[in-house]
Structure 1
Amino acid sequence: MSRFRPGRVIGISVGTLVILTIGVYGPATLLGPLPHATVALTVPDASVTASTPVLPAAGTSGILAVTPVDATGESATADTAAAGTRTETLGVDPIAVGGGSAPLPMASAAKIITALVVLDAKPLEAGEPGPAYSLVTADYQDYLDYTAEDARTVIVFPGESWTEREMLQAMILGSSNNHADTLARWAFGSVDAYLTAANAWLAANGMADTTVVDANGLQDGSAGTGADLARIAALAATNPVIADIIKQPASALVGQRGVNNTTAYLPEEGITGVSRSYTDAGGVCFLFTATVVAGEKTFTFAGAFLGEPDYDTLTADLTALMASARAGVTELPVLAEGDGYATLTTAWGDSAGAVVGTPKTRFGWQAAAPSNAEVTLDDVTTGRAGAKIGRVTVDAFGESVSSTLELDSTLTDPGPGWRLLHPIPVISALVNSW
């Protein structure tokens, strides 16, 4: 008769456990996958240019990039830009703003808004005259009224015919207040209907801080910020019709009436005026574009100065701005080599940075540090320094720029000792791999 032997049962159990441990635990820990390194995102120090834009402390002002680009998306060279084989792209955010943030009376800058809104409703090809309009009594009365108020006008007579281009030329180059009203009525039926359309257009184009209450800017209620009006200057400079009118010499209009160009100012500084005017409430208001040539590349920006006290101050402020532009426009680091966007740490204590492997630059003037970094990383356990493990993409100068991320130091295998002494993370990694 057999007897139950507890010692034998225990011995068999222990032996079985030892066999299982050696046969399963050992291979599982020694040969199984390692746990992935944990990831902590980091933000590199911002790279800044040596010269920031110099803008007036008074009034309100702003500048916005208007950068020539070729078909590949790279900055165009000066020769390419001069040949006209380029498109224009506007910056998303201002390069810089100055003065206060409250809207100020914009004077004749309102006429540039009128031109843009009218051309949006009544498109015209550059150099083409466009449809003709026979002036009516209201148009002539505007001329008489504005002349009596000593406001800028270009003479008209009832019944004479003006083309769309001629009306735009009189308003933009001659700063004709009567032609601003005439264009508004011609395109929209009435000045009030134009104002409704214009304010809707401003809102739709992201200029919520700018409002017009007339077509010519004589009323103080037509007001805006430097940031908004810099965008207006950029839109005007990149509109083929307006740009063509501004760059052409003032020519004779209807009835041999010449128009003097009121927009030009400091061309020797690389500045092209878009609108220049003065009112008692608004002071000197100036919309413009400016160009800086650095080597074989050209950088163009648009600007707006509102509330300048006088022309001497405007001259000094523009000269200071252009000096800072010539010093600040350069190849700017967007993704600098070695910039870290993440830190990887292993369960056994090794750590390494995920750093930019291939630097990326953009030609321009620094507005702000690249933003909205999007980091995508592979699952990493071990790896040698320099191994590519992912990508980083940032928003810079209105476009997405990306580069590879690589390890800045080696993540080593912890060895069999660590594996055997840390079964939980090793077994967990094995289970997660199934």
Structure 2
Amino acid sequence: MSRFRPGRFIGVLVGTVAILAVGVYGPLTLLGPLPSATATLLPPPAPAAIVSPPALPTAGTSAVTALRVDESGSIVAPTIPAAPIAAAGSTTPLPLAAIAKVITALVAFDAKPLTVGETGPAVTLTAADYQSYLDYTARGSRAVTVFQGEVWSEQELLQAMLLGSSNNHADTIARWAFGSVDAYVEAANAWLTKQGFDHTSVVDATGLHDASAGTGTDLAALAGLAAGNPVIAEILASPASALADRRGIDNTTAYLPELGITGISRSYTDAAGVCFLFTARIVDGDKTFAFAGAIVGEPDYNTLDADLAALMTSATDGVTELPLLKQGDAYVRFNTTWGATSSGTVGYSRNTYAWQASAPVKPSIDLDPVTTGRAGTVVGHVTVDGTAGEASSTLKLDRTIPDPGPGWRLLHPVPLINALLDSRG
């Protein structure tokens, strides 16, 4: 019968624990997950182009907003009001004069759609339409001659209102499309709210009432919406003489085309001053930058001329080829607990022909967890946004982050155990 030997038992126990420890510790440290690298965001690179803000008048209210141009050169109507490149003057709504007629046209299209190349339904003018003509003529306001019983197409009504700034035609369109001017006003304000023009409202179809008012930011976006409407664009591109078999109409919209400007609405009232809604283009070879603008509350046309010339000079100076994101620029630094480092750098350059009117806002960075990886591995994305537009690119490691090797793993169990626990939630 064998005797119990304490020394032997302790030796076997120690040996067993040692074997188990080696069997667990070795695989844990050598095969377990590594701790993620610490990511530190770096200061974004300085803008490659000098910031060159638009020259806008400080009186009244004004703004400019960028537009998109398709392959044919036509302006594409924005789906939502774009943030302005720049705005100046009052942030309180000011009387907008005949710009209200552009609103009338856009709201009427909702009720009475019209497509390019069609004249639309025939509209027989009523006694109320003729009386409007007499009333506006007596007041010295813009009016185009009409008679009761005449038949005008929808396209002709719009031509008279937009090109000739005819107040009586604005009322006629409102009555025809909505039943009354009051019903039109209700529909127009609902439309403005729906479009996001929260600081613009109307009380009439003509803009002669001082309470029809808006801000430069809203009205510049409105100009882009109007310019992107193919029917309005077609009307603006046609001479006033295109209004066949009707009385002569002076085109009130065309203004300073030699500067690259296309007028949408130009008007004056005592309360509003000179008001101008327009688009403009800067062209460099096969590159085009288009923008919409609104200038409201100018004291006279000489001042408007000087301010438009200054604006277009600033556009010529400010619009250029801009590298929004430059390949190789670092936006984040990775540091590991075993001493390896790498940077997340822009994978692909993103350039645009645009106006750097202000410094880009802080970039948005989305990162994946990083432990090891070869140089060139995609580790996230970076997005920049500003007056020059939005651009995104991948972020890639600029150098390899290697595995620390068995020696480091065996000597650093704590971070490896923490990484294992983190990996299991």
Q: Displacement of 1:48 after TM fit? A: 6.3
Matches within 5 A, 1:120-159: 120-159=110-149
Q: Displacement of 1:123 after TM fit? A: 1.2
Number of residue pairs matched by the alignment: 421
Gap regions ≥5 residues in structure 1: 71-79
The residue number in structure 2 matching 1:57 is 58
The residue number in structure 1 matching 2:68 is 67
The residue number in structure 2 matching 1:75 is none
The answer to whether the Cα contact below 8 Å between 1:94 and 1:367 also exists between their aligned partners in 2 is no
Gap regions ≥5 residues in structure 2: none
Q: 1:400 to 1:330 in 2, by over 3 A?
A: closer
Alpha-carbon separation, structure 1, partners of 2:244 and 2:376: 71
- Partner AA of 2:44 in structure 1: P
Q: Which moved more, 1:38-47 or 1:120-129?
A: 38-47
User: After superposition, what is the alpha-carbon deviation per residue over 1:301-339, rounded to whole angstroms, capped at 9, x for unaligned?
Assistant: 110001111111111111111111112222223322234
Q: Displacement of 1:40 after TM fit? A: 4.5
Secondary structure of the corresponding residue to residue 169 of structure 1: helix
User: After superposition, what is the alpha-carbon deviation per residue over 1:366-406, rounded to whole angstroms, capped at 9, x for unaligned?
Assistant: 356267735142x4222344333333355677987432211
Alpha-carbon separation, structure 1, partners of 2:26 and 2:89: 71
Residue identity over aligned pairs, in percent, reads: 61
The residue number in structure 2 matching 1:405 is 395
Secondary structure of the corresponding residue to residue 251 of structure 1: helix
Alpha-carbon separation, structure 1, partners of 2:47 and 2:57: 24
Select 1:286's aligned residue among 276, 285, 309.
Answer: 276
- Partner AA of 1:345 in structure 2: N
The answer to whether the Cα contact below 8 Å between 2:77 and 2:226 also exists between their aligned partners in 1 is no
- Partner AA of 1:318 in structure 2: L
The answer to whether the Cα contact below 8 Å between 2:159 and 2:235 also exists between their aligned partners in 1 is yes
- Partner AA of 2:227 in structure 1: A
TM-score (ref. length: structure 2): 0.90
The residue number in structure 1 matching 2:251 is 261
Secondary structure of the corresponding residue to residue 36 of structure 2: coil
CA-based RMSD of the aligned residues comes to 2.6
Q: Displacement of 1:35 after TM fit? A: 2.1
Alpha-carbon separation, structure 2, partners of 1:202 and 1:345: 52
The residue number in structure 1 matching 2:327 is 337
The answer to whether the Cα contact below 8 Å between 1:334 and 1:370 also exists between their aligned partners in 2 is no
Structure 1 position 348 matched with structure 2 position 372: no
Q: Displacement of 1:28 after TM fit? A: 2.9
Matches within 5 A, 1:9-28: 9-28=9-28
The residue number in structure 2 matching 1:74 is none
The residue number in structure 2 matching 1:243 is 233
Structure 1 position 234 matched with structure 2 position 234: no
Select 1:117's aligned residue among 102, 107, 110.
Answer: 107
Q: 1:357 to 1:93 in 2, by over 3 A?
A: same
The residue number in structure 2 matching 1:36 is 36
Q: Which moved more, 1:140-149 or 1:103-112?
A: 140-149
Matches within 5 A, 1:288-367: 288-366=278-356
Alpha-carbon separation, structure 2, partners of 1:235 and 1:432: 52
Structure 1 position 425 matched with structure 2 position 415: yes
Q: Displacement of 1:270 after TM fit? A: 0.2
Alpha-carbon separation, structure 2, partners of 1:314 and 1:32: 72
Q: Displacement of 1:414 after TM fit? A: 2.7
TM-score (ref. length: structure 1): 0.89
The answer to whether the Cα contact below 8 Å between 1:289 and 1:302 also exists between their aligned partners in 2 is yes
The answer to whether the Cα contact below 8 Å between 1:294 and 1:329 also exists between their aligned partners in 2 is no
The answer to whether the Cα contact below 8 Å between 2:44 and 2:363 also exists between their aligned partners in 1 is no
- Partner AA of 1:58 in structure 2: A
Q: Which moved more, 1:239-248 or 1:14-23?
A: 14-23
- Partner AA of 1:337 in structure 2: Q
Q: Displacement of 1:356 after TM fit? A: 0.9
Alpha-carbon separation, structure 2, partners of 1:148 and 1:7: 124
Q: Displacement of 1:150 after TM fit? A: 1.2
